[in-house]
């Protein structure tokens, strides 16, 4: 019985110690500068998405049509990247949900007005 408890405690300790490293590896999977394209009414709107890590948290800036827009609640869970941003200054809130596969992202913007497809490739 005592050996079972020790073994279980050892496994729990390894999992807890490994968890922070796992999160960092997930974060590194999305860190960088990305060239993004959103499909809107038959047009392709180009943007740059920059993601970095500050104080252990993902942060980002979305730049489109000459305007920098901060990204909020930037999270990566497995291959799923999510974040929110305003559409222009004081505009509607857009939520992004996408899948990261290596140096490519495919996903969608979700808002009260509906959904728009969005994809991109890592620039650096």
Q: In this model, does residue 82 exceed pLDDT 70?
A: yes
Q: What average pLDDT does range 57-84 have in this prediction?
A: 96
Q: What average pLDDT does range 55-71 have in this prediction?
A: 95
Global pTM? 0.78
Per DSSP, the chain holds a count of helices (H) and strands (E) of: 1, 8
78 Cβ partners below 8 Å, 6+ apart?
26
* Domain 2-122 CATH class label: mainly beta
Q: pLDDT for 96-115, tens place per residue?
A: 999 999 999 999 999 988 99
Q: In this model, does residue 31 exceed pLDDT 90?
A: yes
Q: What mean pLDDT value characterizes the chain?
A: 85
117 Cβ partners below 8 Å, 6+ apart?
38, 39, 106, 107, 108
Q: In this model, does residue 54 exceed pLDDT 90?
A: yes
Q: pLDDT for 5-24, tens place per residue?
A: 555 545 444 444 344 444 57
Q: What is the pLDDT of residue 63?
A: 96
Residue spans of the domains in the chain: they are 2-122
């Amino acid at each position: 019985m005592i050996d079972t408890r020790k073994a279980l405690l050892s496994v729990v300790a390894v999992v807890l110690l490994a968890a922070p490293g796992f999160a960092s590896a997930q974060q590194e999977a999305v860190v960088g500068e990305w060239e993004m394209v959103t499909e809107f009414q038959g047009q392709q709107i180009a943007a740059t998405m920059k993601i970095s890590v500050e104080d252990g948290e993902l942060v980002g800036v979305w730049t489109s049509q000459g305007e920098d827009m901060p990204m909020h609640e930037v999270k990566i869970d497995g291959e799923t990247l999510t974040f929110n941003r305003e559409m222009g200054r004081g505009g509607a809130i857009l939520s992004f949900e996408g899948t990261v596969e290596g140096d490519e992202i495919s996903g969608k913007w979700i808002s009260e007005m509906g959904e728009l497809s969005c994809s991109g490739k890592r620039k650096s």
